[in-house]
Amino acid sequence: MKKNTPNMIITTVIIGLIITFAGLAVHTLIMQNRTVHRVPQTSGAQAGEQQRTEARPAGGSQRAAPVVRVTPVVRDDIENNVVINGDVLAANQISIFPTVAGRVSRTFFQVGDRVNRGAVVATVDPSRPGQIYSDSPVVSTIGGTVLSTPVLQGDTVSAQTPVLVVGDLSSLVIETFVPERFSNAAQRGLSAEVFLEALPGENFIAVVDEVSPVLDPASRTVRIRLRFSGGTDPRIKAGMFVTVSLVTSTRRGVPVVPRTSLINTYGSWILFTVNEHNIASRREVFLGLENELFVEIVQGLEVGEMVVSAGQNFLTDGDLVRIVE
């Protein structure tokens, strides 16, 4: 047997290494070629997104035009009012007092009875233990209807205790109290709308006839009285509860918009106008008088411009809008 020499062993190792490196190179080339020609795989969600992206029109997506309702800025009269509660009273209503202290011995009238001026409405016995005096008459100082009887027969009264309250129901007035901040606006001759709980759905016109010259220090209000315009409806009775809408100031022929069109943002008032191309524009405005329905625009708008009265809360400056009636 021929023995292997060292040179033959080295040659064999070198040949083996060359074959190994050649095999690795061929494998690498095959894998690169497969990667180049492989079709990328996507999940169902990715495929759907890819389809939506391919179907999306050039220039990006656009949201649908907001639907709004518009109203023109017009010139009109506007009134500022304050709503307060009050009571219907007899125009001439007084309390009848005795002239002496004692015990009420007799009463002659009940609530609702008609009393003439000078009529004796009750008697008071001023007697004390061990003394006897004649009854003292209590005389009505006006003619009218008995509205209340604060005392009964047998009650002890003084000269400052009212025995009867008598009023002239042929003429009724409304008494109410105006808060201090509106006190300067409460002037004689101001008109007001009156609503009665007993007559729902109806309103009556009244005029301020009397204004107290001083404020009540406890309630910080001014007492006023109003008379019904055109006479008193016979269905209205003394003692009824009323709601008074008092007109405190009036502006005539000024630009007005619906109150619903305004948005308060960080202490400023804004609204949106719409031009002939249906493009919305954001405007800051300054307000004057206002009531429950309309607001006077002092600055920021011109008469004839179209303002958004519904749907403005979802608008931004420059939006294209769709107008509905």
Q: What is the CATH number of the domain that holds 212?
A: 2.40.30.170
The pLDDT value recorded for residue 314 is 83
User: pLDDT tens across 163-210, in order?
Assistant: 999 988 888 999 999 999 888 888 888 889 999 988 988 999 999 999
Q: Is the pLDDT of residue 60 over 90?
A: no
For residue 284, what are the domain limits? Answer: 67-78+253-323
Query: Are 246 and 268 in the same domain?
Result: no
Q: Is the pLDDT of residue 54 over 60?
A: no
The pLDDT value recorded for residue 39 is 43
Which of 199, 218, 251 is the endpoint of a domain?
A: 251
- Calculate ∠ Cα 128-129-130, nearest 5°: 110
Q: What is the C-alpha to C-alpha distance for residues 221 and 84, in angstroms, rounded to an integer?
A: 11
Which of 227, 251, 275 is the endpoint of a domain?
A: 251
Check which CATH number belongs to the domain holding 102 and give it: 2.40.50.100
Query: Are 291 and 232 in the same domain?
Result: no
Would you say residue 178 lies in a domain? yes
Would you say residue 60 lies in a domain? no
Would you say residue 61 lies in a domain? no
Query: Are 179 and 232 in the same domain?
Result: yes
Would you say residue 9 lies in a domain? no
How many structural domains comprise the chain?
Answer: 3
Query: Are 140 and 103 in the same domain?
Result: yes
Check which CATH number belongs to the domain holding 279 and give it: 2.40.420.20
Q: Is the pLDDT of residue 1 over 60?
A: no
Q: Which residue has the higher pLDDT, 22 or 297?
A: 297
